[in-house]
Structure 1
Amino acid sequence: MTTPSDGTRVTDDAGVEFLLGKKIAEGAQGTVYRVASYPDFAIKLLTRPQDLERIERVRRLPLDGLAVASPITLVRNGGAGYVMRLANEMKPLRNPYLPREFGPREDADWYLATGGLRRRLAISANLASTVAGLHARGLAYVDLNPGNVMVSEDLTRDATWLIDTDNLTSMTEPSWDIVGFPGYVAPERKRRSPPTTLADAYSLGIIVFRMLVLSHPLMGAATFGTEGKTADLGIDLGQFPYVDDPDDDTNRLLPSSLPAGLLSLALSGRLRRLCQRTFGAGRLTPLSRPGSSRWREVLFTALDNVIECPRGCGWTYYRLMSNCPKCNGRTGPTTMLTVYPGRPETMLSARDSLVVAESVTSVLPRHLWGRYDEADAILTVRPVTDGYELTAHGETVITNATGQRVTRMAKPVGNQVSRVLLSTPGRPDRTIALRSVPTA
């Protein structure tokens, strides 16, 4: 079909007429438009009208509670497609976070201006959480690439949604008619193997690596010495080693490049090992790859350990670095909040730790109980004079060692550790500890 221009009117199967607005995304299977007068909705018109049957199947999939722009109603009059909910201030991830070619603007200032490390980690973690949520429901996304990821245009926000749910498939009865997007496809899918959650995890890893390091994980010295199309095909087939492979240095990033500098700055130790497993042993052996839930866990942990430059240059980096990578400002001690299972007298090893921010820190169900499907804060911590103000939400109660309710904790000094008990009905108790941690 011919893609309509802005101003086309279409009607859905509920009899509602929509006026198409600005085009926001386009791919081989169709084009996504904003809807005039309905700022929080979008419409995808399909290239092939016969694909509506597949969209009907997608509507029946269990997608409630996930950040996925699933079909609400079908469009049959004026075109073939579907209506989906999508916040007005979102745009595709592909631009400006993932430049196709580097030029003078892709420097440290550009990296900061387009979100810096903290926002890139937040978007990556949110994406991994949505993909892991799909996988937990027995679904594969099939065509994960930056063009199908929408993010907040506002740099102070990190909302992340998946669109183009056309290819979602149940792993019990997988069906597909596409291989994947060039540059983001798993090698076995390029060889026409069926879609799997581990193929999705490989594509997720590529997006995360490109978000953080600004280069493909298999694009290094060896690919630069290979003819363009041959190199692209070799990357998709997994024929080149990972750029940070500890046992093979033939495909390293160019030493003077921005990605080479970002490799050690943007990847935490756990992220670095995760990438090595995914693009090393897991590149051609899917069962050796970490799944999406592991990506989610490691990315959120990395995000929780990021600080902002104390000298105010705006750069965000991992708390264990002794100096700001951009301005070389000295990193001082960081107040850390650590969550322990059980009561103070029976504390086991820590289950999670996060930096206490200079503004407000939210302690979430994922920190306390590993619940990534719940987003509302259980506890918020706000700096005040000589300490921190605690606000418990819902039925949660915070008590001290004598069982008295508390709303403040002293600011730890030196080796001091402040502890309180967090109790939420129906959930295991947790001990919250604050301590001051010096840099490495």
Structure 2
Amino acid sequence: MSQGLNKYVDEYQNLHIQAKILGQGGQGIVFRTKDPDLAIKLVTDESGTPVTDAKSLERYSKRFKRVRLLPLPENLNISVPAALLQNNAGYVMQLLSDMVPFSHFWLDGKSAEDIIPADIPEWLSGMPDSEAKKIIHYYRTGGLRRRLHALYKCASLLARLHGNSMIYGDISPNNIFISQGIEDSSVWLIDADNIRFEITSGGSVVYTPKYGAPELVQNKDCGRPSSDCHAFAVVAFYLLSLIHPFIGKKVDGTDEGDWADQENGEEDIEDCAYAGLFPWVDDKNDDSNSSDSGLPRSLLLTEKLTALFEDTFSKGRTSSLLRPTIYHWPEALAQAADMTIMCSGCSMNYYYDFIHPETEDHNCPYCKTPRPQVLIFESYRWNGADKSLGQPSWRYVREISQDTDLTIPRRVLDEFEIVDSDIAEVLISSSDNGILIKKSDHGNVELSVASGSQPQQEFQKLSSQIKIDHMTPDTHFWMFAQLNSPRLVKCMIGAGKR
């Protein structure tokens, strides 16, 4: 069977026709095929030409077959080679039809063209159109909450991979995919041919420019789990704040110093930044490369996330051993996502307990709209009636209005686990008549419910559903959950005004 410019035959004689390009980089190109659930990774040379010579085909074939033999964890969302291509270095992989790369979170030319002057709201009218469009695109693509949740899912995948002694090797926005629908947040990793066991010497060094760990860019190492952690943290910070963690005033032209006298030539400044030779933009001890660009980090990052970024990009910049492992990230990101609410005025997300410095009340930090009414779940570890509840182990907050439907995930009712913390355990519907609590068809929790101001109220076991009469900010109800670790959950209304 002959092969045209956009037709590829795999090792099982299946014909694949090229469709939309999903991403392109130094290692190759990824594109969809006419089959909506299949994609192809095609290896290209430095000029972008597909690799077809016999010697390279044999080398890449061995590499792709090795990946297929790796003991990857079950049900891990990583698109591995399903079939190798004939006459081209590349392979066919599964990729669900409704997925897009993380790079779609950044404003591109087409998305910018789709935002017309009339789309720019009054609260953004004081900034240049180019910057206003970035923020519009930010909330149109799900805002802070969706980004935090997507990063939590990605970190969970990497944690499972690292937990099986493997590294991913080339983390970048083009290699992480997410469901296109705003309400869905399934995350997959593609470009799996770089996955391998950790090696301390030998082998090829692979990374995407701007995301490679300093030790890789400086050719001091060959890639470890800590290298993955740096790349992930760069993606996360860039995704949340809209600026690269190492592109500050030393690099963007806003530094007042004379860089012509510096050891590094001006043409090398960005390369030096990406190599980790400069402090990061929010370094607490060195502001020589600071930046006021991007979204305010105080509105984006919790205390835990701030510490993780600081440790990764400060101490971890010069010593990979001092970086937080990937296991620290999933819980911190999930906790942050669960405390965000959406502003009814501007559609931006912010943390529910934010106090606006001008109003000294719960107002949106972007447009000053009063906080919407929210439902707050505070989950406590239950150690017995004679023990103090202490501090909540988890908070889950969502804005509510008439006819609101909420899904309460397992992490609110049990210890956080990276594999199943997203499972829907409880469904809650809010209306003028009260709140209806239903057990999810997929849930395993044993749940009891009581209404009243004290947890000593009589609990009623939830078999199917229970209705709580109309609630006000002065009333609340309790849920007692038993899975692996008992939880007492306080559920209350948070008004827009303190």
d(CA) in 1 for partners of 2:4 and 2:177? 22
> Structure 1 residue 415: deviation in Å?
5.8
Structure 2 counterparts to residues 206-355 of structure 1, below 5 A: 206-225=234-253, 229-254=267-292, 257=293, 259=294, 261-309=295-343, 311-321=344-354, 322-331=362-371, 334-342=374-382, 345=385, 346=387, 347=389, 349-355=391-397
Name the residue aligned to 1:380.
427
Name the residue aligned to 1:116.
143
d(CA) in 2 for partners of 1:10 and 1:204? 34
User: TM (normalized to structure 1)?
Assistant: 0.87
Structure 1 pair 410–194 and aligned structure 2 pair: CA distance change class (3 A):
farther
Give the counterpart of 1:105 among 124, 127, 130. Answer: 130
Structure 1 pair 114–136 and aligned structure 2 pair: CA distance change class (3 A):
same
Structure 2 counterparts to residues 26-41 of structure 1, below 5 A: 26-36=24-34, 38-41=35-38
- The amino acid across from 1:164 in the alignment is D
Structure 1 pair 115–67 and aligned structure 2 pair: CA distance change class (3 A):
same
Name the residue aligned to 2:410.
365
> Structure 1 residue 187: deviation in Å?
0.7
Structure 2 counterparts to residues 184-195 of structure 1, below 5 A: 184-192=211-219, 193-195=221-223
Which digits, 9 at most, give the CA deviation of each residue in 1:187-235, with x for residues without a partner? 1112220211111111101101111111111111122345654222211
Structure 1 pair 92–114 and aligned structure 2 pair: CA distance change class (3 A):
same
Is this contact kept in 2: 1:74–1:81, CA < 8 A? yes
d(CA) in 2 for partners of 1:187 and 1:228? 19
Is this contact kept in 2: 1:212–1:262, CA < 8 A? no
Structure 1 pair 147–51 and aligned structure 2 pair: CA distance change class (3 A):
same
Structure ID, larger Rg: 2
d(CA) in 1 for partners of 2:75 and 2:415? 19
> Structure 1 residue 366: deviation in Å?
3.3
Asked whether 1:59 is paired with 2:99, we answer no
Is this contact kept in 2: 1:342–1:348, CA < 8 A? no
Which deviates more, 338-347 or 241-250?
338-347
Is this contact kept in 2: 1:410–1:418, CA < 8 A? no
Is this contact kept in 2: 1:98–1:211, CA < 8 A? no
- The amino acid across from 1:280 in the alignment is S
d(CA) in 2 for partners of 1:4 and 1:24? 20
Which deviates more, 94-103 or 169-178?
94-103
Name the residue aligned to 1:73.
83
Name the residue aligned to 2:121.
none
- The amino acid across from 1:342 in the alignment is W
Which digits, 9 at most, give the CA deviation of each residue in 1:46-82, with x for residues without a partner? 334221211111112233322211122222x242322
d(CA) in 2 for partners of 1:389 and 1:165? 42
> Structure 1 residue 4: deviation in Å?
6.9
User: TM (normalized to structure 2)?
Assistant: 0.78
Structure 1 pair 408–371 and aligned structure 2 pair: CA distance change class (3 A):
farther
**Count of residues in Structure 1 that have an aligned counterpart in Structure 2:** 427
Gap runs ≥5 in structure 2: 45-55, 113-126, 254-258, 260-264, 355-361, 450-456
Give the counterpart of 2:42 among 24, 29, 45. Answer: 45
Structure 1 pair 177–113 and aligned structure 2 pair: CA distance change class (3 A):
same
> Structure 1 residue 172: deviation in Å?
6.6
Which digits, 9 at most, give the CA deviation of each residue in 1:92-144, with x for residues without a partner? 22245166999833323232233321222222222222222211221111111
Structure 2 counterparts to residues 75-154 of structure 1, below 5 A: 75=85, 77-97=86-106, 104-107=129-132, 108-154=135-181
> Structure 1 residue 262: deviation in Å?
2.9
Which digits, 9 at most, give the CA deviation of each residue in 1:311-348, with x for residues without a partner? 44312111122321232112256321122223662545
d(CA) in 2 for partners of 1:434 and 1:137? 38
Is this contact kept in 2: 1:74–1:83, CA < 8 A? yes
Which digits, 9 at most, give the CA deviation of each residue in 1:347-395, with x for residues without a partner? 4543211114423333333332212112421222232333342324444
Structure 1 pair 127–4 and aligned structure 2 pair: CA distance change class (3 A):
farther
d(CA) in 2 for partners of 1:146 and 1:262? 22
> Structure 1 residue 180: deviation in Å?
1.2
SS in 2 for 1:53: helix
- The amino acid across from 1:215 in the alignment is I
Is this contact kept in 2: 1:344–1:421, CA < 8 A? no
Structure 1 pair 410–423 and aligned structure 2 pair: CA distance change class (3 A):
farther
Asked whether 1:429 is paired with 2:486, we answer yes
- The amino acid across from 1:371 in the alignment is E
d(CA) in 2 for partners of 1:399 and 1:383? 19
Asked whether 1:202 is paired with 2:246, we answer no
Name the residue aligned to 2:8.
9
Structure 1 pair 86–103 and aligned structure 2 pair: CA distance change class (3 A):
farther
Structure 1 pair 402–298 and aligned structure 2 pair: CA distance change class (3 A):
same
Which digits, 9 at most, give the CA deviation of each residue in 1:243-263, with x for residues without a partner? 111222221214xx4x1x432
d(CA) in 1 for partners of 2:267 and 2:71? 39
Name the residue aligned to 2:48.
none
> Structure 1 residue 174: deviation in Å?
7.8
Give the counterpart of 1:182 among 205, 209, 212. Answer: 209
Is this contact kept in 1: 2:79–2:189, CA < 8 A? yes
> Structure 1 residue 403: deviation in Å?
5.0
- The amino acid across from 2:82 in the alignment is I
Percent identity for Structure 1 against Structure 2: 27
SS in 2 for 1:249: coil
d(CA) in 2 for partners of 1:200 and 1:16? 35
- The amino acid across from 2:223 in the alignment is P
d(CA) in 1 for partners of 2:25 and 2:186? 22
